[in-house]
A and B are shown apart, each in its own frame.
Chain A
Amino acid sequence: MTKKYAGGKLLTALTYIFLYAPIVVLIVFSFNGSKSRTVWSGFTLDWYKELFGDKLIMGSLQTTLLVSVAASAVAAVIGTFAAIGFYSMKKRWRGPLLTINNIPVINADIITGVSLSLLFVSAGAVLNFELGFGTLLLAHISFDIPYVILSVMPKLYQLDRNLFEAAQDLGCTWFQTVYKVVIPEILPGIINGLLIAFTMSVDDFVVSYFTAGSSVQTLSMTIYAMTRRRISPKINAISTLLFAVVLILLVVVNMREARQHKAEMKKANALKGELE
């Protein structure tokens, strides 16, 4: 048993080395003195300096952040209301609607992208608009909403139905019930959904590629265009920065959680001591 356990640990270690090796390479070469991505020629911070002067990269970073924030926020609102609506529906309607809701999640990205581009191109021909930031935003919202719904629905099912009764017995209108009782109870699910949606939007390349047209570029699209030619180490630099930001955020969040957990444990132990 112990031998097998050690084997599992070794395999896990190898898996993580496999996952992180390319990232380490990426980060190390963001400090490389020359443009080469395989030969090390001394330490420099030049790429970081150049990065902030690069209008294309900075512009596409801005587009990415703007689209991701806007799309995940809109998706959180629409998705939360939709989840409450689905939850109150009869099963006969809820079932098929949730299946349709799952389509963008399960479907291959390329199909989602291509089908939306067909829609936007044909609607654009009639209504006289072109692919651009608007279509990009619509596409992002529509693949973000399902993630919000999927993380809000379980929270709704965990709700005590008596809670609504209590609220209404105490004189809440249906709207007050929703925003004073339901929303606070399902807030963790909404925030979780918002974060997943934001991540999906930031990381998305394929759907953006087919729906943004030629006038707007997200960071992923800029990177893709660069890989077709030759990537400048500036891209290594920006991904190192993004990685550092995420790492710091995760460490802070986890440390706070751990501290809260510890405090709660202490409190519980103290209470137990008092009772005894």
Chain B
Amino acid sequence: MTRFPLRRTNAGRRMRRAGALKSAFTPAAGFFGRFRRQSFAYPYVLWLALFVVIPIILIAVYAFTGADGGFTPGNFSGMMDYAPVFGRSLWLAFLATVICIIIGYPAALAISRMRPRSQRILIVLLMLPMWINFLLRTYAWMSLLENTGLINRLLASLGVFDLINALHAGTPGYAPITHFRLINTDGAVVLGMVYNYLPFMILPIQSVIVKIDPSVIEAAQDLGADSRLVFRKVILPLSLSGVISGVTMVFVPAVSTFVISKLLSNGTVMLLGDLIEMQFTGAAYNPHLGSAISLIMMIIVVICMSVMSRFGEGREQAVRL
């Protein structure tokens, strides 16, 4: 009896009348409670300023200064030379993102239609490869794609190359082939991107589709929609936010990677990431140029993201795998 009606005591009533309850927490603590708890974040606010805001400002500062420390726009003047690198990076990342949607969406849809138990197992299996170091996963593709790698060996033992050579036997100037050139191509780099980032496309789409209220689908069916129309008018629009968070989670790392291109093209396919990495490590050390390129890449990414976020929101759940 004494426990239950505490809020009905005179003190409580007086507090409420004073408007103290408006504060997020208790009438007793009032303003001071909020103020104190808010101060829990102050160390981290300082941390954010020091380790997130200042470093980004530093990139901008380095981008607009020369080696002597004076202001110069010179870092940007030679940027046109790198236009092919920008173009290639954006194009390959775009291709990888599209392929991830083409493979990932139907897979996510199929997974979300399975029994809850199978779904859980498949989701765990999807995240399991992420526990293997991604350098090693990419490295494993090297053994598959090499000229003397497992795929070419398999094709050779199946007689594929003999067949092709036999077909071209009469052609003048034809040189017999012993392997397909798989590694050190744009295709190999796109494959590496798709392989590494595909789970990031499937996971958000699947989690959004699972949350669709089945009664909405039933309602559509009751109103006479066939399965195709249900997909087009109900499932697809409702799952778009998952696709969007998937796109950002695939595109951003893909456009900025330097490891995948280094491993799967041995430096023959130069991407933005490689260009930046070169400026910060190794012989061509030039952090000013590197910062200028980073700044442009950041702006491109921000533009892409704000265009995407116009289509819907889903960024928060993107992070919560």
Residues in chain A within 8 A of chain B (CB atoms): 1, 4-5, 8-9, 11-12, 15-16, 18-23, 25-26, 29, 37-38, 78-79, 81-89, 97, 100-111, 114-119, 121-122, 138-139, 142, 145-147, 150-151, 154, 161, 164-170, 174, 177-178, 196, 199, 203, 205-206, 209-210, 219-220, 223-224, 227, 231, 235-236, 239, 242-243, 246-247, 250, 254
Contacts and interface: CB of A to CB of B under 8 A. Distances in A.
B316 A85 contact: no
Interface in B128-156: 128-137, 139-144, 146, 148-150, 153
Contacts of A114: 59, 276, 280, 290-291, 294
Considering residues A105, A154, A169, which has the most beta carbons from chain B within 10 angstroms of its beta carbon? A169
Given A15-B103, A100-B52, A89 B136 contact: no
B52 A227 contact: no
B320 interface: yes
Is the contact region of chain A dominated by helix, strand, or loop, or is it mixed? helix
A88 B247 CA distance: 33
B162 interface: no
B33 interface: yes
A25 B29 contact: no
A24 to B, nearest CB: 9
Contact of B143 (A38, A105, A161, A168): A38
Given A199-B131, A220-B135, A8 B58 contact: no
Contact of B58 (A1, A12, A115): A115
Nearest to A108: B256
A106 B315 contact: yes
A9 B113 CA distance: 10
A161 B24 contact: yes
Contacts of A146: 319
B28 interface: yes
Given A25-B144, A174-B33, A19 B126 contact: yes
Contact of B316 (A122, A150, A199): A150
23 contacts: A4-B227, A12-B122, A21-B144, A23-B140, A81-B40, A88-B40, A89-B38, A107-B252, A108-B301, A111-B294, A116-B55, A118-B55, A142-B47, A151-B320, A161-B25, A168-B25, A196-B321, A205-B259, A209-B281, A220-B135, A223-B133, A243-B128, A247-B128
Contacts of A26: 132, 136-137, 139-140
Contacts of A196: 321
A114 B130 CA distance: 24
A206 B315 CA distance: 22
Interface in B234-283: 248, 252-253, 255-259, 262-263, 273, 276-277, 280-281
Interface in B36-64: 36-45, 47-48, 50-56, 58-59, 62
